[in-house]
Amino acid sequence: MNKTIYHDAVVRGFTLSALFWLLAGLVSGIWLSLELLYPGLNFAPWIAYGRLRVVHTASLTFGFGLGSIFATAYYLLQRLTRTTLALPRLATGHLLLFNVTIAAGIITLMGGMNTTKEYAEFEWPIDLLFLCFWLMFTVNLFATLIGRQERQMYVSLWYLIAMTVTIAPLYFVNNLAIPLTPFKSYGIYAGTVDADVQWWYGHNLIGFIYTMPILAMFYYFLPKSAGIPIYSHRLSIVAFWSLIFTYLWTGAHHLILTPLPEWIQTVAIAFSILLIAPSWGVVVNGYLTLRGNWEQMYSNHIVRYFIFGITFYGLQTIQGPLQGIRTANAFFHYTDWVIGHVHMGTMGWVTMVVSGSFLSMVPNISGKKLHSVRLADLQFWLMLTGQLILTISMWISGILQGSMLKAITPDGSLSYAFLDTMAALTPLYLLRAASGVIYFIGILLFCWNIIRTFTDKPEEGPPA
């Protein structure tokens, strides 16, 4: 029988790129948390809060998020189709262009060139580069799928296809603009149409970057690392179709109680509630996969990343729909509650699952054991502790902020000035910065473990 040779150099390249952008994103996140405590840290324009915040979100969403998605996509695409990558040279070009685009994007954002649309801040030349590397990935994905040796398409492939065909049109439509100079353009939409298109894009970016491809990793690496097949393939497919159908209608839940027509807001709220069902279809499938094998939560250093990750995803998909309801949103919008929601998802779900996937994938592509299982364990506890403290402190901060900003005296004036809220939030902001450092130490151990696994000589790795 012929053995398939996999092209894993590009997987390694994207893995290392993702780690680089993860470190850059976390350093900027910690710096941002400190700037909110010590405003003197805004000492230069290129690290002023407004610029650094977008550096944080862009390096993590595009550099780390997409980098790890491409790494795992190229890996599992070849394994699930039992074939080699159709166009390996194109994949190398994709890796190079990806890093050039993100680096150019980050540098221009630090230079203050920014379209001011959230998660779409890059100016038009960078958007064009973005669409080019996306096209390169799309061609390779479909060419490999067409030449596949395995007839059945496992659910992870469906999630990758959904991401691939959705992101480029979303990105293109939302970024349509009239260029004035290479560094300045004006978006073609105005008013509520602009807001609606922006959040149709923004929410689906969350869905098709921070959810679908992460689910592709979850469905592939959980059964692989546990050595047990997924509980129900049928449930995974039903959840897939209902998830993608429901997701696309929910963007306007970011615009509750705004001038956007009320019926659009109501449709988004209703679809957000419906989204609980397919989301929990995945959570239940994950839990039932481990039935009778729960001791792996102690004995298997990778499985717990996925089970904790899917638990935070489950909590996130209950919190999200509830905070979208009008009365709740009137209280929570514009508060740190949303920042708590964001970081339970990004630090607890996305980064946990990416960590588990890399810890499982890198020994395979380098043909060695993981450098240190102990480091992987320690990383897990540091990440979990850091994420929980950060998330909970932001929820408390959000409740405090909402209550103070809305408190009214008997004569109808505001009880607190904005500065009073900032003073009250200081201990919670200190907790956020400290927990960010704990999380960051966990990530440093992760990077060290992955790099050492690549560089160890085969016989050097300590016993797993």
Nearer to ligand HEM, 185 or 435 (CB): 435
Per the CB < 8 A criterion, the answer to whether 58 and 130 are in contact is no
CB of 445 to ligand HEM, least distance (A): 14
- Regarding 321 and contact with ligand HEM (CB under 6 A), the answer is yes
- Regarding 114 and contact with ligand HEM (CB under 6 A), the answer is no
From the list 97, 168, 235, 338, which residue makes contact with ligand HEM (rule: CB under 6 A)? 338
DSSP-derived 3-state class of residue 185: strand
- Regarding 255 and contact with ligand HEM (CB under 6 A), the answer is no
Single out the residue of 446, 452, 391, 460 nearest to residue 18, CA to CA.
446
DSSP-derived 3-state class of residue 179: strand
Per the CB < 8 A criterion, the answer to whether 268 and 249 are in contact is yes
Per the CB < 8 A criterion, the answer to whether 97 and 23 are in contact is no
Part of the chain binding ligand HEM (CB under 6 A), chosen from 23-31, 129-137, 181-189, 373-381: 23-31
Q: How far apart are CA 456 and CA 15, in angstroms?
A: 17
From the list 253, 301, 368, 371, which residue makes contact with ligand HEM (rule: CB under 6 A)? 253
From the list 20, 134, 137, 440, which residue makes contact with ligand HEM (rule: CB under 6 A)? 440
- Regarding 342 and contact with ligand HEM (CB under 6 A), the answer is yes
> What is the distance in angstroms between the CA of the first residue and the CA of the last residue of the chain?
31
Nearer to ligand HEM, 4 or 426 (CB): 426
DSSP secondary structure of 104-138: HHHHHHHTT----STT--S-HHHHHHHHHHHHHHH
- Regarding 235 and contact with ligand HEM (CB under 6 A), the answer is no
Task: Write b or e for each residue in 42-80: b if 16 or more Cβ atoms lie within 10 A of its Cβ, otherwise e.
Answer: beeeebeeebbbbbbbbbbbbbbbbbbbbbbbbbbbbbb
On the CB side of 349, how many CA atoms lie within 13 Å of its CA?
A: 26
From the list 12, 51, 301, 333, which residue makes contact with ligand HEM (rule: CB under 6 A)? 333
From the list 289, 300, 329, 449, which residue makes contact with ligand HEM (rule: CB under 6 A)? 329
Nearer to ligand HEM, 156 or 346 (CB): 346
Q: How many CB atoms lie within 10 A of CB 128?
A: 12
- Regarding 20 and contact with ligand HEM (CB under 6 A), the answer is no
Tokens (6 digits) for 18: 């993702």
CB of 279 to ligand HEM, least distance (A): 5
Ramachandran region, residue 191 (left: φ > 0; alpha: ψ -120 to 50; beta: rest): left
Site for ligand HEM in 79-108 (CB under 6 A): none
CB of 210 to ligand HEM, least distance (A): 4
From the list 7, 53, 79, 148, which residue makes contact with ligand HEM (rule: CB under 6 A)? 53
DSSP state of 46: G
- Regarding 30 and contact with ligand HEM (CB under 6 A), the answer is yes
From the list 21, 210, 249, 308, which residue makes contact with ligand HEM (rule: CB under 6 A)? 210
- Regarding 346 and contact with ligand HEM (CB under 6 A), the answer is yes
Nearer to ligand HEM, 139 or 378 (CB): 378
From the list 439, 445, 446, 449, which residue makes contact with ligand HEM (rule: CB under 6 A)? 439
- Regarding 356 and contact with ligand HEM (CB under 6 A), the answer is no
Give whole-number Cα distances, 393 to 33, 37, 400, 434, 438, in Å.
12, 15, 11, 11, 14
Single out the residue of 343, 324, 368, 370 nearest to residue 431, CA to CA.
343
Per the CB < 8 A criterion, the answer to whether 432 and 33 are in contact is yes
- Regarding 314 and contact with ligand HEM (CB under 6 A), the answer is no
Per the CB < 8 A criterion, the answer to whether 371 and 311 are in contact is no
Residues that bind ligand HEM (CB under 6 A): 26, 29-30, 32-33, 53, 56-57, 60-61, 64-65, 118, 206, 210-211, 250, 253-254, 272, 275, 279, 313, 316-317, 320-321, 323-324, 329, 332-333, 338-339, 341-343, 345-347, 350-351, 436, 439-440
